[in-house]
């Protein structure tokens, strides 16, 4: 059994890495796009196989209850995004925004990004996890700047500086964790292996651990787009290719949050260390309220949804900060559903901005009339992300709010205020985008692949109506683990 598990893990890492190399060498972009999709599919299958057979953890890699569903989610969304990307880039090539050489680079980087994210999730060693996240950061920086316009360069540069800064702070935090662990665990690798750290965390020096967590929260929090360190996020989403926006919002933010949660579990395991909850609640609420207010004046459609990602990361961080089985359950559910919904929205937005030739909200009107499939897809996505039933996000947001009301009514008021702000703005914007009077502007014909979007929305809808038993059981398990 476990041999197959080891094989699955190997596939998860080796396939994207090999595909990245191959794609860098392959001149034809059509074959490249197909190879990209098949490699992503292969990783998805390997990830699914892990559900049934887990390998034994070693000092470097580990598959446990917490990361396994995130790995599956990660590979699922990378796969659907690669399908979307295939139809998206064909159009970019026609309009000349990308040349074949850049496309080759784009595909190679896409697989390298999947490799880095899989490695970050699989890593048992906190140093290795850091390396993987740094790699993912550098790759996305290059991807964001791929259009080489002034705005894209500015966005990539800003992302590079802020991202590296966050990564540097996280490394300092990682070193501090090692220093806290070293007197107890001895020198060398065991003092960096996460499962051994967790076992010994009770006897670590609490003061050192506290300081480490502050650095880690700030560092990885920057990568998760938490206010006030979010400045890179809207620019990077707006100026890069849309498949990358989908992966950034849907997956990379999750990776950073996952890292924070791992260290939160360490903090929880040490009774005399600072409680990490209030810090996370504070950052989460700040992000939620800030993004709620900022949503109002956005003029660029991708930027609008980027701020919505900050909002949702705020909600998730808030939920995990509150802690307890119910709030953690809600946080995990929200993390999953936000990934699916937000990437579906970006799939729609990508094609919409290609059709209209612009990202400005004021010039995109009446989509349900001119492009029914894309328009209604966007309507469904925005309704879902705004937290309306029957979609799953309604349920997870409801759980966050109700569990907070039971424990901290005042905080719940702030939370509801933020949610309502975002809700109102998104629906108001949606009205113009989807139902306004269509203008007679030029509409470019686009081969829109709407299947990935529909698949995601269907999953979110099903989650809102009925959650499968094993999934609920898993969420419960992990919610208890997270403490």
Partner 1 sequence: MHGLAFDIAHFLAGGMVVVSFLMLYQDRLSALINVFALHSLVLVLAVGWQATIQDAHHLYVTAGIALVFKAIIIPTALHRIVRRLGIHRTLEVVGGVGLDMLAGAALVALAILVMLPVTATTDALAREDLAFALAVLLLGLLLMITRQNAVSLVVGFMSLENGLVLAAAGARGMPLAVEISIAFSVLIALIVIGVFLFRIRERFDSVDMQAMDTFREERRK
Residues that bind partner 1 (CB under 8 A): 127-128, 130-131, 134-135, 138, 141-142, 145, 148-151, 153-154, 156-158, 160-161, 164-165, 168, 171-172, 175-176, 178-179, 182-183, 186-189, 191-192, 205, 207-208, 210-211, 234-235, 238, 297-300, 303
Q: Which is nearer to partner 1, 298 or 371 (CB)?
A: 298
Those residues with Cβ within 8 angstroms of residue 204's Cβ, 6 or more apart along the chain or in another chain: 180, 181, 184, 270, 273
Q: DSSP letters along 46-73, please?
A: HHHHHTT-PPPP-SSB---HHHHHHHHH
Distance CA 256, CA 226 (A): 10
Q: Which is nearer to partner 1, 172 or 405 (CB)?
A: 172
Q: Which is nearer to partner 1, 199 or 274 (CB)?
A: 274
Q: Which is nearer to partner 1, 48 or 168 (CB)?
A: 168
Distance CA 359, CA 155 (A): 16
Secondary structure of residue 193 in the 3-state scheme: strand
Distance CA 306, CA 343 (A): 11
Q: What is the nearest approach in angstroms of partner 1 to the Cβ of residue 301?
A: 12
Q: What is the nearest approach in angstroms of partner 1 to the Cβ of residue 125?
A: 8
Q: Which is nearer to partner 1, 128 or 457 (CB)?
A: 128
Q: Which is nearer to partner 1, 161 or 413 (CB)?
A: 161
First to last CA, the chain: 30
Q: What is the nearest approach in angstroms of partner 1 to the Cβ of residue 211?
A: 5
Q: How many CA within 13 A on the CB side of residue 343?
A: 37
Q: What is the nearest approach in angstroms of partner 1 to the Cβ of residue 167?
A: 8
Q: Which is nearer to partner 1, 77 or 218 (CB)?
A: 218
Q: How many CA within 13 A on the CB side of residue 167?
A: 19
Q: What is the nearest approach in angstroms of partner 1 to the Cβ of residue 144?
A: 11
Distance CA 249, CA 48 (A): 22
Q: What is the nearest approach in angstroms of partner 1 to the Cβ of residue 30?
A: 27
Q: DSSP letters along 432-464, please?
A: IIIISPPP-----------HHHHHHHHHHHHHH
Do residues 435 and 366 touch, judged by C-beta distance below 8 A?
yes
Do residues 344 and 336 touch, judged by C-beta distance below 8 A?
no
Distance CA 438, CA 387 (A): 27
Do residues 215 and 279 touch, judged by C-beta distance below 8 A?
no
Q: What is the nearest approach in angstroms of partner 1 to the Cβ of residue 392?
A: 31
Q: Which is nearer to partner 1, 21 or 207 (CB)?
A: 207
Rounded to 10°, the helix 100-122/29-50 angle is 10
Q: Which is nearer to partner 1, 183 or 441 (CB)?
A: 183
Q: Which is nearer to partner 1, 300 or 311 (CB)?
A: 300
Q: What is the nearest approach in angstroms of partner 1 to the Cβ of residue 155?
A: 8
Number of H helices, E strands in the chain: 20, 0
Q: Which is nearer to partner 1, 227 or 330 (CB)?
A: 227
Distance CA 344, CA 358 (A): 19
Q: What is the nearest approach in angstroms of partner 1 to the Cβ of residue 452?
A: 28
Q: What is the nearest approach in angstroms of partner 1 to the Cβ of residue 32?
A: 22
- Supply angle C-alpha 108, 113, 116, rounded to 5: 130
Distance CA 273, CA 431 (A): 49
Q: DSSP letters along 286-323, please?
A: HHHHHHHHHHTT--BHHHHHHHHHHHHHHHHHHHHHH-
């Amino acid at each position: 059994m476990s041999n197959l598990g080891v094989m699955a893990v190997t596939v998860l890492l080796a396939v994207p890495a090999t595909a990245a190399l191959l794609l860098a060498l392959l001149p034809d972009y059509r074959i490249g796009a197909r190879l990209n999709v098949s490699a992503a599919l292969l990783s998805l299958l390997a990830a699914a196989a892990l559900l049934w057979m887990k390998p034994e953890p070693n000092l470097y890699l580990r598959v446990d209850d917490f990361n396994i569903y995130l790995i599956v989610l990660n590979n699922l969304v990378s796969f659907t995004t690669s399908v979307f990307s295939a139809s998206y880039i064909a159009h970019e090539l026609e309009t000349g925004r990308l040349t074949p050489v850049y496309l080759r680079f784009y595909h190679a980087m896409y697989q390298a990004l999947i490799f880095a994210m899989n490695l970050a999730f699989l890593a048992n060693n906190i140093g290795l996890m850091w390396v993987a996240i740094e790699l993912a950061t550098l790759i996305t920086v290059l991807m964001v700047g791929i259009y080489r316009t002034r705005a894209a360069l500015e966005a990539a540069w800003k992302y590079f500086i802020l991202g590296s800064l966050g990564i540097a702070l996280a490394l300092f935090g990682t070193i501090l964790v090692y220093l806290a662990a070293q007197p107890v665990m001895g020198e060398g690798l065991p003092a960096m292996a996460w499962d051994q750290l967790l076992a010994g965390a009770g006897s670590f020096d609490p003061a050192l651990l506290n300081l480490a967590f502050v650095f880690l929260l700030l560092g990885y929090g920057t990568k998760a787009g938490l206010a006030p360190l979010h400045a890179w996020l809207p620019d990077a989403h707006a100026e890069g290719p849309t498949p990358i926006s989908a992966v950034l919002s849907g997956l990379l933010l999750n990776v950073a949050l996952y890292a924070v949660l791992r260290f939160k579990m360490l903090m929880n395991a040490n009774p005399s260390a600072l409680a990490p909850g209030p810090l996370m609640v504070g950052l989460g609420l700040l992000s939620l309220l800030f993004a709620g207010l900022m949503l109002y004046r956005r003029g660029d459609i991708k930027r609008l949804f980027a701020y919505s990602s900050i909002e949702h990361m705020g909600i998730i961080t808030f939920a995990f900060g509150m802690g307890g089985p119910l709030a953690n359950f809600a946080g995990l559910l929200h993390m999953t559903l936000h990934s699916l919904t937000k990437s579906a929205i970006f799939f729609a937005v990508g094609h919409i901005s290609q059709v209209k030739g612009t990202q400005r909200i004021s010039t995109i009107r009446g989509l349900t009339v001119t492009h029914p499939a894309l328009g209604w897809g966007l309507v469904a996505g925005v309704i879902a992300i705004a937290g309306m039933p029957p979609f799953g996000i309604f349920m997870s947001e409801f759980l966050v709010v109700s569990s907070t009301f039971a424990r901290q009514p005042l905080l719940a008021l702030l939370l509801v205020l933020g949610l309502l702000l975002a809700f109102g703005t998104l629906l108001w914007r949606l009205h113009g985008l989807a139902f306004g009077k269509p203008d007679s502007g030029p509409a470019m014909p686009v081969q829109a692949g709407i299947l990935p979007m529909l698949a995601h929305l269907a999953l979110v809808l099903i989650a809102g109506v009925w959650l499968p038993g094993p999934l609920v059981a898993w969420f419960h398990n992990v919610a208890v683990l997270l403490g």
